[in-house]
Amino acid sequence: MAKKSVSKKNSSAAKTARKKSAKKAAGRVAAKAKKTVSQTSAKARPPKGPVWQWTALQTAAAIRSGAISSDEVVEAHIARMPDGNPKLNAVVVDLSEDALKAAKAADNRTKKSEPGALHGVPITIKENVDYQGRPNPNGVPAQMNIIAPSDAPVVRNLKKAGAIVLGLTNTPEFSFRGFTDNPLHGLTLNPWDAEITCGGSSGGAGAAVAAGIGTIAHGNDIGGSLRWPAHCNGVVTIKPTQGRVPAYNESAAAERPMLAHLMSAQGPLARSVGDVRAALEVMSQRDPRDPWWVPAPLVGPRPKGPIKVALAKLPDDMDVDPSVRAALRQAADRLERSGYRVSEVEVPDINGVWQTWCDIIANETAMLQEAAMLKVTSSDFHAAWSGIKAKANTLDLLGWMRATAARSTHVRAWQLFFEEYPVVLAPTTVKPTPGPRADAISAERTRELFWNDLRFISAINVLGLPGAVVPVALHEGHPIGVQLIAGRYREDLALDAAAAIEKRADALVPRLWEKMA
């Protein structure tokens, strides 16, 4: 009980400090932020609407053209933060002061050198990768003394491209839950509705970018942690092929085990497919610290003729909500109208693939991390972990070797499947978005969530395949997204299909902003 009281005290103090910092920054820049865009420059015509509503691509183009400065863009985004973040608790480390300095430096550099692809573009970073000089607690109070000696590759690549970091976003303890809550920073809410989860583990990232705090949010995904928050918050993402985006935390006490590395990926969340594509290109630049990084081209050969899309047949044992079936049909129709040929097809052994993912991640975690994690985590974490572990088979060495061999069999089957159907259209979840702490209700509820609801998300991690999520519709005021899966290093095919759906869909986020206003 003593530990819990201290955690709450620390969380309350941290929240108070963040609110004071945000208020101070907002007050300092409010006068400048109120200046209309039309007053910023007569050199070029900027996009319509408030600066914080612009896409990353629009923002970068406006800065390059001279329509607005990096400083003015960052000021507008900092002024936006107090409007949304205090209620959401999405950005938990406010870097406004550093962001303003970086923006001014960016404007000075523009006069001397060619700007990067994301020059002056405001972004956020998930607080589970190294950010030089900052703690990397990963949602755990006991890890606040872990200070990053250097930037993680994905942070370094974004900064090299000129992106400006506004703050660090919330994540559950050890980034291990699909619901963003922890004793260090507290619960992150969904900007659409506080009664549903923002997802996880990149829930802070998804909530922030949906609410208009930054144009691009960094996140990562080992069991759905990019795609699930994208679905919950009504934004776009791509979980890249493993090896596409380099990863490394110098602050880590030990290397990750091999399969955990092969199932995990760094990636972007944004409000448009175009922004996700641009962010992926920047994030995927080489870093010698990741031995698994692959210099694969971002665009591959286009299949001949109309691209065949497999609408994944849902297993008979899945309890599927009618709203999900309707969203999948809607997405399929939009693809058909864009020239794709969609057929409902059974994909290769999705149940066996998911079980292999569950067995591998649960056994690796139990052997290498469980004892240490349980000592420093909350009862909610214990409940969620128990649910995942209960669905896994306990493996001895022989069982482990068979599981890793089975992974290769599954990957091969899917690769052969993509020869006929280059893209798979599948659900993210098959049920309405649950409450903000649904996985902590009981081990049984957690098993239901991961096995029934999110089966088509987590299964893709063990395959190492790219998966995009794009919003399709609202159901009872809550976003529904669909997943587009493609072959290894064919993020371009997944994103092209997502863009075809996006082109014919009503934009959801502007409705959210109207609601928030």
Beta carbons of 202 and 225 less than 8 angstroms apart:
yes
Is 378 a residue of the active site? no
Which residue's structure tokens are 């569950």? 358
Pairing of the two strands 164-169 and 236-239: unpaired
The strand ranges marked E within 105-206 are: 122-126, 164-169
Distance CA(436)–CA(433), nearest Å, equals 9
Which are the contacts of 176, defined by CB distance < 8 A and separation ≥ 6? 201, 365, 373, 381, 384, 385
Phi, psi of 167 (to 5 degrees): 180, 180
Catalytic residue among 126, 159, 239, 389: 126
* Residue 191, H or E segment: none
Angle between helices 70-88 and 203-211 (to 10 degrees): 120
Nearest Cα residue to 468 out of 180, 240, 127: 240
Residue type at 206 in one-letter notation = G
Phi, psi (deg, nearest 5) at residue 270: -155, 180
Catalytic residue, chosen from 70, 201, 264, 378, is 201
Q: Please give the C-alpha separations between residue 33 and each of 19, 71, 78, 437, in angstroms, as whole numbers.
A: 19, 10, 9, 36
N residues, the chain: 517
CB 417 within 8 A of CB 216: no
What region, left, alpha or beta, does residue 162 occupy, with left being phi > 0 and alpha being psi -120 to 50 degrees?
left
Q: Tell me, what amino acid is at 79?
A: A
Q: Say whether 126 is catalytic.
A: yes
∠ CA 251-257-261 to the nearest 5 degrees? 80
Closest C-alpha among 403, 395, 401, 398 to residue 363: 395
Q: Calculate Rg over the CA atoms of the chain.
A: 22
Q: Which of 70, 96, 175, 225 is catalytic?
A: 225
Q: Distance between CA 477 and CA 127 in Å, rounded?
A: 29
Respond yes or no: is residue 201 known to be catalytic.
yes
CA distance 470 to 234: 8
3-class state of residue 129 by DSSP: coil
Residue with tokens 């005290």: 9
Which 3 state secondary structure label does DSSP give 485?
strand
The position carrying tokens 């004892």 is 371
Catalytic residues: 126, 201, 225
